[in-house]
Structure 1
Amino acid sequence: MFDWNDLVFFLELARQGRLAPVARRLKVDHTTVSRRIAELEKDLAVKLFDRNRDGFVLTERGHRLFDIAERIEQEASAVEPAMGADNATAAGRVRVVTMEGIGAFFLAERFAELAVQSPGITVELVTERHIISLTKREADIFISFVHPTGAKLEVKKLGSFRLALYASRGYLDQRGEPRDRDELAAHTFVDYVEDLIAIQPVHWLLDVVDPTNVAFRSSSMHAQQQAIAAGAGIGLLPLFSAKTNPRLIPVLPDQVKVYRDVFHSVHEDLQFLARVRTVSRHLSSIFELDNAYLNEF
């Protein structure tokens, strides 16, 4: 019979992929982690991990055990709340994956509020340019601009945000301010690197104009915003990011209105974990409370 406590080490190694971060999280020596995994494999008579230069990767049977172990973890986390324990608090790591712009300019600051409210939870905010797989456990929560598809996903719309055209005062003084959308064709733009766009709705400038004169391209929305503020050209930016830089001047704000929906996704096997549920509630709350900030000048 295997030791139930070994599942804790197994889950952490499956999520982290390396011994050192697991050892730090569980406050043990890395040799202890290695030994507990070896004992679990011996007791179950199966190989749970393959090891390569990138770390530990689950085998097919490891994936089977991961699904079972997560269900056990989920049930265990529900014991204290079900018993009405007053001291039951959510704790642990929650990995949230989203796009760079909304992660850096909007979510990061608001996760600081969660750190005060729920000090036992550690949020890991990861930014990606592509759609990730919750089914493959690449994250606990995915915040995206498209409605994800996949088996056993719980998806809900959190809200929306507005984008607008911006330029610097220097650029507008030099090139003149367009009076309508037709005059945009004569201007210079800042845009994404086309062949590096993994999620098409992020190429939002095409909702307004297909520019023929692009002075600067970047796969980073932050870099684009900096270039626009420095006078490189006109660009389309979310209000939540543009508001952080006073050098940015709205262009045709009454004529150009672009919106994107924001979706929250979580695998159904994780949605009732106390730590995941706490972070999900916080995300819903901030999108509701900050709706005006996201959509109005």
Structure 2
Amino acid sequence: MFNWNDLIYFLELARQSRLMPAARRLKVDHTTVSRRIAELEKDLSVKLFDRKPDGFVLTEQGHRLFAIAERIEQEAGEIHESIRAAPSAPTGRVRVASMEGIGAFFLAERFAELSEKEPGIVVELVTERHLINLTKREADISISFVPPTGQRLVVRKMGQFRLALYAAPDYIRRRGLPGAVAELPAHAFVDYVEDLVAIQPVHWLLDVLDPSNVAFRSTSMHAQQNAIAGGAGIGLLPLFSAKSNPRLIPVLADEVVVMRDVYVSVHEDLEFMGRVKAVMRHLTEIFRRDAAFLNEL
């Protein structure tokens, strides 16, 4: 019979992928984590991790155990909620995955509000160019511009945001301000690196035109915005980020209107956990409250 406590070490290593980060979260030495995993594998007579240069990767049997261990963790966490005499505030870590732009320019500041309301919850905001896999528990909640697919996912359209063309005064002095959409091909643009676009709806400039004259490309929306503000060219930016820089001037605002939906997803095994529910409520609130900020110039 295996030691139930070894599941705690197994879950943390599966989530962190490396011994040292897992050991820091568990407040033990990394050799303890290694030893407990080895004992668990021995007791179960299975290999749970493949040791790779970039960390520990779950095997097929490891993924099966991970799903079971998370259910056990969830049930254990609900014991106190079910039998306590008085309600208590949700606590724990919630990992939220999003794209870089909306994470940095919109979500980060608003998660600071959540920390005031729910001080026991620690949000870990992970920004990636690709969609995080919730089925593999790479995050607890995903915020994306396309509805993700996967087994047992709860996906909700949370809201939408607008994008507009912007340019800087330096660029306008040099090249002039286009007076119509038909004049755009004559201008220089800032755009994404085409072959590194992981999610096609993020390559939003293609909703307006496929520019033949690109002065600057980047995989980072933040870098693109700074390049536009520096006068490199015209670019398409979400209002939630462009509003943060007074050097950005809208271009053809009445003629060019690009919209993107925002989807929030959670695995159904986590949907009713107290800390996850609290973060989901907060996301629902901010997207409803800040709809005008997201959609109006």
TM score, norm. by length of structure 2: 0.94
* Whole-angstrom CA distance in 2 between matches of 1:192 and 1:118: 37
Kept in 2, the 8 Å contact 1:162–1:296? The answer is yes
Structure 1 residues 16 and 175, CA gap change in structure 2 (3 angstroms): same
Kept in 2, the 8 Å contact 1:99–1:144? The answer is yes
- Give the structure 2 partner of residue 112 of structure 1: 112
- The yes-or-no answer on 1:57 pairing with 2:73 is no
Q: CA deviation at 1:143?
A: 0.8
- Give the structure 2 partner of residue 46 of structure 1: 46
- For residues 147-206 of structure 1, give each alpha carbon's deviation from its aligned partner in whole angstroms, at most 9, with x where no partner exists: 111211110011000000100112112222122211222211111111111111111111
- Give the structure 1 partner of residue 92 of structure 2: 92
* Whole-angstrom CA distance in 2 between matches of 1:148 and 1:44: 34
* Partner SS state of residue 151, structure 2: coil
- Give the structure 2 partner of residue 36 of structure 1: 36
- Give the structure 2 partner of residue 19 of structure 1: 19
Question: After the TM superposition, which of the residue ranges 260-269 and 116-125 deviates more from structure 2?
Answer: 116-125
- Give the structure 1 partner of residue 259 of structure 2: 259
* Partner SS state of residue 115, structure 1: helix
* Whole-angstrom CA distance in 2 between matches of 1:85 and 1:208: 58
4+ residue segments displaced more than 6 Å: none
Kept in 2, the 8 Å contact 1:46–1:61? The answer is yes
* Whole-angstrom CA distance in 1 between matches of 2:249 and 2:143: 28
RMSD value, Cα:
1.6
- Give the structure 2 partner of residue 123 of structure 1: 123
- Give the structure 1 partner of residue 291 of structure 2: 291
- Give the structure 2 partner of residue 183 of structure 1: 183
Q: Which runs of 5+ in 1 are unaligned?
A: none
* Partner SS state of residue 164, structure 2: strand
* Whole-angstrom CA distance in 2 between matches of 1:233 and 1:162: 20
* Whole-angstrom CA distance in 2 between matches of 1:254 and 1:121: 42
* Percent pairwise identity: 73
* Whole-angstrom CA distance in 2 between matches of 1:77 and 1:52: 32
- Give the structure 2 partner of residue 152 of structure 1: 152
* Partner SS state of residue 237, structure 2: strand
- Give the structure 1 partner of residue 101 of structure 2: 101
Kept in 2, the 8 Å contact 1:77–1:274? The answer is no
* Partner SS state of residue 78, structure 1: helix
Q: Which runs of 5+ in 2 are unaligned?
A: none
Kept in 2, the 8 Å contact 1:80–1:88? The answer is no
* Whole-angstrom CA distance in 2 between matches of 1:10 and 1:72: 12
Kept in 2, the 8 Å contact 1:6–1:37? The answer is yes
* Partner SS state of residue 93, structure 2: strand
Q: CA deviation at 1:47?
A: 2.5
- Give the structure 1 partner of residue 8 of structure 2: 8
- Give the structure 2 partner of residue 81 of structure 1: 81
* Whole-angstrom CA distance in 2 between matches of 1:165 and 1:37: 53
TM score, norm. by length of structure 1: 0.94
* Whole-angstrom CA distance in 2 between matches of 1:146 and 1:64: 28
* Partner SS state of residue 155, structure 2: strand
- For residues 237-291 of structure 1, give each alpha carbon's deviation from its aligned partner in whole angstroms, at most 9, with x where no partner exists: 0000001100000111111111100001111122222222222222111111111
- Give the structure 1 partner of residue 196 of structure 2: 196
Q: CA deviation at 1:89?
A: 3.0
- The yes-or-no answer on 1:220 pairing with 2:213 is no
* Whole-angstrom CA distance in 2 between matches of 1:84 and 1:157: 34
Kept in 2, the 8 Å contact 1:2–1:43? The answer is yes
* Whole-angstrom CA distance in 2 between matches of 1:184 and 1:50: 52
- Give the structure 2 partner of residue 72 of structure 1: 72
Q: CA deviation at 1:296?
A: 1.0
* Partner SS state of residue 166, structure 2: strand
Q: CA deviation at 1:142?
A: 1.2
- Give the structure 2 partner of residue 271 of structure 1: 271
Opposite residue 109 of structure 1, the aligned amino acid is: E
